[in-house]
Amino acid sequence: MGPLFTVLVLALVLDAVCGDFPWLFGRVPHPVVWVGNLIAWFEKRLNKPRYGGRDRFLRGSLTTLAVIACAVSFGGVIQLISSFGGIFRLADILLLAILIAQKGLYQHVKGVSVALRRDGLAGGRAAVSMIVGRDPQSLDQAGVSRAAIESCAENFSDGVVAPLFWYVLGGPIGLCAYKAINTLDSMIGHRNERYLYFGKFAARLDDVVNFVPARIAGGVICLAAGIGRKTSGADAWKTMLRDASKHKSPNAGWQEAAFAGALDLSLAGPRQYGAELVEDPYIGDGRRDADASDIDRALKLYTTSCILNAAWPVVLKMTWVGLV
């Protein structure tokens, strides 16, 4: 437990201090950028409109496996370095701090709240367009605020809980494999004409690797809501269990429903993506007229959730070791 606990604590502290390491990755590409460039290289050469659906699926699957293999190889090098122990564990700490998005997510969501207060709706739309894919011009103040809160909820799992989960189970190899899968899904896992077949394997694989972390994230949020002020843990649990399945994603609904219940809001609902209107149901039965103050409440809930999230990996690792 000792080395794992030390790595987790130091990595989370380093992330809290440095965030996205702008002083470093303003000069050199971020590892996720490397992965993204590799995906784009494969996609440009293998995803041609002239290919049929089956062919594009096989080519997309090959792309997915090749990118994961490269990420696993890099993780294996870090794992080998860290296996020497002592100061060499700094490689683990730095990798985890870089690939977790705890402070970065907070800053991006907080930016929406600040922009709404300082620059009004136009500023809020500009800020939220940096973290969501929907058409910002279709959003009023409540829509901007709900979009920021939904992003905070969903990315708590993808950017914070899941990286820790896969690091605990698989070390740097598991962490790098997860980030590769998550990046693949974000780039080619879309249900549009270009990626429906090419990215299908990556999208389904992302659903699989996020299945357990998403539910852990939902539970952590509910616990945090019970601890926090002006949030309801009981309502978070009730709404999560009732409404999680309403989300089109098999995983994202757990976090969004927990946030909705905790904050007494209604999230999701109809959304505009370019020319496409997605008629999703609302999650939660609270207010729809969210504003900047609700974003700030969501960030307090997120901060408490992050603190609690630092504890469960040690318990999981101890249980895992006991089982095997």
Collapsing DSSP to helix, strand or coil, 29 comes out as coil
Can you tell me the distance from the alpha carbon of 186 to that of 159, in angstroms, rounded to the nearest whole number? Answer: 12
CB atoms within 10 A of CB 36: 17
Q: Which of 323, 295, 247, 322 is nearest to 112 (CA)?
A: 295
CB-based burial, 184-220: b 16+ in 10 Å, e otherwise = bbbbbbbeeeebebbbbbbbebbbebbebbbbbbbbb
Q: Which residues of the chain have pLDDT under 70?
A: 1-2, 272-277, 312-324
Query: 64 is written with which tokens?
Result: 């997915």
pLDDT at residue number 276: 66
Q: Which of 37, 34, 43 is nearest to 61 (CA)?
A: 43
Can you tell me the distance from the alpha carbon of 176 to that of 170, in angstroms, rounded to the nearest whole number? Answer: 9
Contact 222, 254 (CB under 8 A): no
Which tens digit of pLDDT belongs to each residue from 55-73?
999 999 999 999 999 999 9
> What does the mean pLDDT of the chain come to?
90
3-state helix/strand/coil string of 240-270: HHHHHHHCCCCCHHHHHHHHHHHHCECEECC
Residue whose structure tokens are 């500009």: 126
pLDDT at residue number 1: 47
CB atoms within 10 A of CB 322: 7
Query: 168 is written with which tokens?
Result: 């605990």
pLDDT at residue number 19: 84
Sequence-separated (6 or more) residues with CB below 8 Å from residue 284: 239, 243, 257, 260, 261, 264, 265, 266, 267
Q: Which of 146, 112, 103, 78 is nearest to 12 (CA)?
A: 103
Residue type, position 149, single letter? I
CB-based burial, 248-286: b 16+ in 10 Å, e otherwise = ebebbbbbbbbbbbbbbbbbbbebeeeeeeeeeebbbbb
Contact 128, 136 (CB under 8 A): yes
pLDDT at residue number 317: 60
Rg, C-alpha atoms of the chain: 20
Can you tell me the distance from the alpha carbon of 160 to that of 217, in angstroms, rounded to the nearest whole number? Answer: 9
Can you tell me the distance from the alpha carbon of 166 to that of 212, in angstroms, rounded to the nearest whole number? Answer: 10
Which tens digit of pLDDT belongs to each residue from 195-241?
999 999 999 999 999 999 999 999 999 999 999 888 999 999 999 99
Residue whose structure tokens are 């701090």: 97
